């Protein structure tokens, strides 16, 4: 009997608890996502009830809002709390949603000249007192600034030092010295500023080693490093298969303004002669190359026509006037690499050649 009543009591207590929790529980198909640092909740459930409501969804929206807010409040009430001056305060976590910044990250400023020196020597700033005892006025005064302790421009009596000119204005001299010190300080500050700004310019883009340099920047950095020796890179060794950098010389070559007088005279006389002559002058090399190119094009056009005809007529051998073959003859001097053509050019029917036989034209590609 007692056992029964105990069991009954327990069951009743459980039922009460469940009832209480029921009031604040909300059933959702998909759990909400919470970002308590921002007091944010995201509900991914598709709003089917709202869709049914149609044009005036206010009541439905309010019900949805109430449910979502209840869930958010449940989460917030589970955070660790403390009592601060009679108020219950919950400790929020860090905001989880990543939001863009409003300004870029602060860049570290480059050190000033003094800071570099101090770092090198290991000099650290000494702690100084704020106020200094001033004998003259008999009170504690600040170390620097308005009404400072030992201001030598404010003295009312200055003894003329031993070796100085008696008619010199010592007060003016002190003021002048102070102005010079201030100007020097300002100059140094501006110089430090200019140095700091120069460091942040992108002209030295690839030259400082970061982790993110691309191939061209690395190549440029390597070249600059090679040339930055005392003998301007003359005795720097190259790796076995490394090629010389192309394009590192001057881009345009100019003749010196005055140098070879004889050559200049010759050039100018030649120019005048060409201008005066009635007959057109012939550039033999150019002419030969032009001719060769024309002949090649004609031969190629004929070959194409033949191949088309050949396809239609079953691959017969067409008029073989222009068949290539035979021993290679002196076609011409070839300069540099040939490129595609491996077979040497035969001297075909030379009837079309203008200007007679010539020793050989340079085939320029």
Partner 1 sequence: MDALDRVVKPKTKRAKRFLEKQEPKLSENIKNAMLIKGGNANLTVTQVLRDVYALKKPYGVLYKKKNITRPFEDQTSLEFFSKKSDCSLFMFGSHNKKRPNNLVIGRMYDYHVLDMIELGIEKFVSLKDIKNSKCPEGTKPMLIFAGDEFDVTEDYRRLKNLLIDFFRGPTVPNIRLAGLDYVLHFTALNGKIYFQSYKLLLKKSGCRTPLIELEEMGPSLDLVVRRTHLASDDLYKLSMKMPKALKPKKRKNISQDTFGTKYGRIHMQKQDLSKLQTRKMKGLKKRPAERITEDQENKPKRIKNN
- Check residue 111 for interaction with partner 1 (CB under 8 A): no
Shortest Cβ 41–partner 1 spacing (Å)? 5
Look at the chain and count its residues: 365
- Residue 176: CB atoms within 10 A of its CB come to 11
Shortest gap between Cβ of 73 and partner 1 (angstroms)? 6
Q: Output b/e per residue, 260-277; b: 16+ Cβ within 10 A.
A: eeeeeeeeeeeeeeeeee
Q: 6, 10, 13, 50: which one contacts partner 1 (CB under 8 A)?
A: 50
Does residue 185 bind partner 1 (CB under 8 A)? no
* Binding residue (CB under 8 A) for partner 1 from 96, 160, 183, 193: 193
Q: How far apart are CA 63 and CA 200, in angstroms?
A: 57
Q: CB 29 → partner 1: shortest distance, Å?
A: 11
User: With binding defined as CB under 8 A, does residue 16 bind partner 1?
Assistant: yes
- The string over 93-103, giving b where at least 16 C-beta atoms fall within 10 Å of a residue's C-beta and e elsewhere, is eeeeeeeeeee
What sign does the CA torsion over 20, 21, 26, 28 have? Answer: negative
In the complex, minimum distance from the CB of residue 113 to partner 1, in angstroms, rounded to a whole number: 15
Can residue 21 be called a binding residue for partner 1 (CB under 8 A)?
Answer: yes
Please tell me the distance from the alpha carbon of residue 365 to that of residue 362, in angstroms, as a whole number: 9
Q: State yes or no: residue 44 binds partner 1 (CB under 8 A).
A: yes
Interface pattern 195-214 for partner 1 (x via CB under 8 A): -x------------------
| Contact pattern from residue 61 through residue 100 relative to partner 1, giving x for each residue in contact according to CB under 8 A and a dash for the rest | xx-xxx-xxx-xxx-xx---x--x--xxxxxx--x-xxxx
Q: Is the CB of residue 325 less than 8 Å from the CB of residue 299?
A: no
CA geometry: angle 113, 115, 119, nearest 5 deg: 120
The secondary element (H helix, E strand) that includes residue 290 is: helix 284-313
Stretch that binds partner 1, among 41-49, 177-185, 209-217, 227-235 (CB under 8 A): 41-49
Check: CB of residue 74 under 8 Å from CB of residue 27.
no
The SS3 of residue 134 is strand
Residues that bind partner 1 (CB under 8 A): 16-17, 19-21, 23-24, 37-47, 50-51, 57, 61-62, 64-66, 68-70, 72-74, 76-77, 81, 84, 87-92, 95, 97-106, 109, 190, 193, 196
């Amino acid at each position: 009997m007692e056992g029964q009543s105990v069991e009954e009591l327990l069951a009743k207590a459980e039922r009460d608890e469940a009832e209480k929790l029921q009031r604040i529980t909300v059933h959702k198909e998909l759990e909400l996502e919470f970002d308590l640092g921002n007091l944010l909740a995201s509900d991914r459930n598709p709003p089917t009830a709202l869709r049914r409501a149609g044009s005036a969804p206010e009541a439905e929206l309010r019900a949805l809002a109430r449910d979502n807010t209840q869930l958010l409040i449940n989460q917030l009430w589970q955070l660790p709390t403390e009592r601060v001056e009679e108020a219950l305060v919950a400790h929020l976590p860090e905001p989880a949603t990543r939001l863009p910044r409003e300004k870029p990250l602060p860049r570290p400023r480059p050190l000033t000249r003094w800071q570099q020196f101090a770092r090198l020597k290991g000099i650290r700033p000494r702690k100084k007192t704020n106020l200094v005892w001033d004998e003259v006025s008999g009170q504690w005064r600040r170390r620097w600034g308005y009404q400072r302790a030992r201001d030598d421009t404010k003295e009312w009596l200055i003894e003329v030092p031993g070796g100085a000119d008696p008619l010199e204005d010592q007060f003016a001299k002190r003021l002048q010295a102070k102005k010079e010190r201030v100007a020097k300080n300002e100059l140094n500050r501006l110089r430090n500023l200019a140095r700091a700004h120069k460091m942040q310019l992108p002209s030295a883009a690839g030259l400082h080693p970061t982790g993110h340099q691309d191939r061209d920047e690395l190549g440029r950095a390597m070249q600059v490093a090679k040339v930055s020796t005392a003998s301007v890179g003359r005795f720097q060794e190259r790796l076995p298969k490394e090629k010389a950098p192309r394009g590192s010389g001057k881009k345009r070559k100019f003749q010196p303004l005055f140098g070879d007088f004889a050559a200049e005279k010759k050039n100018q006389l030649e120019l005048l002669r060409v201008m005066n002559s009635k007959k057109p002058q012939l550039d033999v090399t150019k002419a030969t190359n032009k001719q060769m190119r024309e002949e090649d094009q004609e031969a190629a056009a004929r070959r194409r026509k033949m191949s088309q005809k050949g396809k239609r007529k079953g691959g017969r051998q067409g008029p073989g006037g222009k068949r290539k073959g035979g021993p290679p003859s002196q076609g011409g001097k070839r300069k540099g690499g040939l490129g595609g053509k491996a077979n040497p050019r035969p001297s075909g029917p030379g009837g079309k050649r203008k200007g007679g036989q010539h020793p050989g034209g340079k085939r320029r590609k």
